[in-house]
Amino acid sequence: MKFSRMLFVALSLLALIALIAPTVAAQDPLIESVCLVTDLGRVNDGTFNQFAYEGMVRAAEDFGLDSTFIETQAQTDYANNIQTCLSEEYDAIVTVGFLIADATREAAIANPDVFFIGVDQFYAPDQALPNLVGLQFREDQAGFVVGALAALMTESGTVAGVYGIDIPPVVKFRNGFEQGVRYVNPEVETLGVYIDDFVAPDRGAAAAEQFIGEGADVIFGAGGPTGSGGITFAAQAGVFVIGVDQDEYGTTFGGGDTPGAENIISSALKRVDNAVYQAIELLVGGSDYSNLPGIKVFSALNDGVGFAPAHDSPVPAEATEQVQAILDGLKAGTIVTGVDPVLGGLVGSIPEIVVAATEAETPEFTTLLAAVTAADLGGALSDAGPFTVFAPTDAAFAATLEALGMSAGDVLANTELLTSVLTYHVVAGVAATSDMVVGMSSVTTLQGSDITIEVVDGGVVLNGSINVIAVDIPASNGVIHVIDGVLLPPM
């Protein structure tokens, strides 16, 4: 992912700050009916199609809405299925899946009086519409916690994953799972395969059989019915398995009635039901999506992801407690997955991200990079963490030096001053994402002094004058926020 693209995503997340504003009095409902279009699969498939459907049904019951659904048989049917909902004059349409995003946005543009909710869909700020919202999830966090459990439960030292099409949500699940395994035990081998079909349980089963033959004794399935086919086969072969999206003990394994149910040790939960419900609730309350930047993100912080209980499986209480502690760490920002929360690729350390930004010149961090090198902080910011870094751009450094009547050479030659300034931009022990930062009034930096934080007109201001201009740039050991000035520590 290009760094400029990352900043574009980050800017969209900054607009989520508007969500902390006091809610206005309820207005007349914008909708009276809702129609759901599944991705490939059915509303009883035991994974995210079913969860989306259940969220819609719960909202329809609670708010007295007419509702219906259409099950997609082929990707070529996406636009036609949406059109069916439109022809039947439903006020809101929920579309499920990354692959239906283009058809959803095209329909939203053509039908501005109809509201659209896209599950697993990302819309950048320049694509935002007041009648469209994409629901995004931190699948990497859900995968991370069950990967940790897999590492705790394996006896062979080999675990595996059966994945669906390698679209971003699935890639996030896989990389999160493998990072979670490494977090607990880097010696455990991780196997995995993407299968180019979400509704091929036979192919999922074949992949699981192969992995069992290669020594895997814990298998994660993250690919709709394809993944469910893999874990069903593996569980019935006596191997521990982990489900996805919903608690598959209750769906795929029939609440304990299906053979192999005693071997499902957890599921990586992705609360699509709550997300769909909340998106519909906004419309019922009279609020369109004009205050959202195209997306709404559900993570460990707002209980959008998690892990299911062990049920009948022999997971020790100590293992569950350890996994819960890891989930708590993700929620608090004291643990990071090292996975790009949008596209799902692995990300580099903080200095590596700064180098990438310098090379891409979006924004330029040449002065920051030189300063980190001169102060010999590169190793610390690479190996330790997590950190939250408020990173000034080259333009910010230049303006500050001019105001102080100093040259860059003067500052770079004064290691004590340089270190004091740089460490005043770094908070240790937490990767504070934007939704965490806006709830803070101040943070204590590595330099030892506090930075004050205010939310002003939907933006974040540090020390009363420095604006945060881009947020949530992920690194393997923290997060970077870009600022338009240099924070000078108390002298």
Whether residue 129 is contained in a domain is answered as: yes
Q: Which of 237-241, 382-386, 425-429 has the lowest mean pLDDT?
A: 382-386
- Tell me: do 377 and 451 sit in the same domain: yes
Rounded average pLDDT over 176-205: 97
Please check whether residues 110 and 129 belong to one and the same domain: yes
Q: Are 336 and 168 in contact (CB under 8 A)?
A: no
pLDDT of residue 4: 39
Region 222-236: mean pLDDT is: 97
For residue 415, pLDDT over 60 is answered with: yes
On whether both 93 and 166 belong to a single domain, the answer is: no
Res. 19: pLDDT tops 50 = no
The answer on 436 and 356 residing in a single domain is yes
Q: Where are the beta strands (DSSP E) in 355-448?
A: 387-392, 426-428, 442-444
Query: Is pLDDT above 60 for 12?
Result: no
Long-range contacts of range 351-355, CB-CB < 8 Å, 24 or more positions apart? 351/378, 351/381, 351/382, 352/382, 352/475, 353/3, 353/473, 353/475, 353/480, 354/391, 354/480
Does pLDDT of 10 surpass 80?
no
Domain count within the chain: 3
Mean pLDDT (the chain, rounded): 92
pLDDT band at 435 (very low <50, low <70, confident <90, very high): confident
Residue 197 belongs to what domain range?
Answer: 139-269+303-332
Q: Which tokens sit at 409? A: 């050479």
- Can you tell me the distance from the alpha carbon of 343 to that of 341, in angstroms, rounded to the nearest whole number? 6
Query: Are residues 249 and 125 part of one domain?
Result: no
Asked if the bond preceding 489 is cis, omega within 30° of 0, the reply is no
The answer to whether the beta carbons of residues 121 and 108 sit under 8 Å apart is no
Pair (232, 286) in one structural domain? no
Asked if residue 293 has pLDDT above 90, the reply is: no
- CB 386 within 8 Å of CB 335: yes
Q: Are residues 413 and 379 in the same domain?
A: yes
Question: For the residues 429-456, what does the mean pLDDT come to?
Answer: 94
Q: Residue 25 — pLDDT band, cuts 50, 70, 90?
A: very low
Give me the percent of the chain exceeding a pLDDT of 90: 79
Q: What is the pLDDT of residues 81-120, one digit of tens each?
A: 999 999 999 999 999 999 999 999 999 999 999 999 999 9
- Residue 345, pLDDT above cutoff 90: yes
Spell out the residues 6+ positions from residue 51 whose beta carbon is closer than 8 angstroms to its own.
Answer: 245, 246, 270, 271, 272, 273, 276
CATH number assigned to the domain comprising residue 402: 2.30.180.10
Closest of 262, 228, 265, 260 to residue 244, by C-alpha: 228
Query: What is residue 362's predicted lDDT score, i.e. its pLDDT?
Result: 79
CATH number at residue 293: 3.40.50.2300
Specify whether the CB–CB gap between 265 and 137 falls below 8 A: no
Residue pointed to by tokens 């994974």 = 47
Report yes or no: 51 and 78 within 8 Å, Cβ to Cβ.
no
User: Given a cut of 70, is residue 17 above it in pLDDT?
Assistant: no
Amino acid type, 417: L
Cis peptide before 363 (omega within 30 of 0): yes
What's the rounded Cα separation, in Å, for the pair 104 and 86? 12
Task: Let me know whether 395 and 384 are in one domain.
Answer: yes
Residues 6 or more apart whose CB falls under 8 angstroms from that of 114 comprise: 86, 90, 91, 92, 93, 107, 108, 131
Does the structure show a pLDDT above 70 at 400?
Answer: yes
Contact 270, 244 (CB under 8 A): yes
| Claim to verify: residue 106 and residue 189 sit in the same structural domain | no
Residues 393 and 437 placed together within one structural domain of the fold: yes
pLDDT tier at 380, thresholds 50, 70, 90: confident
Per the structure block, which two tokens stand in for 177? 């799972």
Beta bridge mates, 415: none
Mean pLDDT is lowest, of 23-37, 94-108, 167-181, for: 23-37
Structure-token match 């590169």, residue found = 378
* 52 in the same domain as 40: yes
What pLDDT shows up at residue 26? Answer: 56
**Edge-to-edge order in the sheet of strand 387-392:** 426-428, 387-392, 478-483, 466-475, 459-462, 450-456, 442-444
| pLDDT above 80 for 15 | no
In a domain, 182, yes or no: yes
Residue by residue, DSSP assigns 139-152 as: HHHHHHHHHHHHHH
Decide if 338 is inside a domain.
no
Task: Say what the pLDDT of residue 406 is.
Answer: 86
Specify burial of residue 473 (Cβ count, 10 A radius: 0-12, 13-18, 19+). buried
**Residue 178 resides in a domain:** yes
**Is residue 306 within a helix (H) or strand (E), and if so which, with residue range?**
strand 305-307
Return the closest-CA partner of residue 241 out of 215, 262, 213.
Answer: 262
**Residue 337, in any domain of the structure:** no
Q: Considering the domain boundaries, does residue 489 fall inside one?
A: no
State how far the Cα of 131 lies from the Cα of 111, in Å rounded to an integer.
9
Say what the pTM is: 0.90
Residue 123 belongs to some domain of the structure: yes
The string of pLDDT tens digits covering residues 236-277 is: 999 999 999 999 999 999 999 999 999 999 999 999 999 999
pLDDT for residue 8: 40
Residues 333/477, Cβ–Cβ less than 8 Å? no
And the tokens for 294? 């195209």
Question: Do 178 and 324 lie in a common domain?
Answer: yes
342 assigned to some structural domain: no
Band (pLDDT 50/70/90 cuts) for residue 447 is very high
User: Given this model, what pLDDT does residue 6 score?
Assistant: 46
- The mean pLDDT of 75-86, rounded to a whole number, is 96
Which pLDDT score is estimated for 291?
82
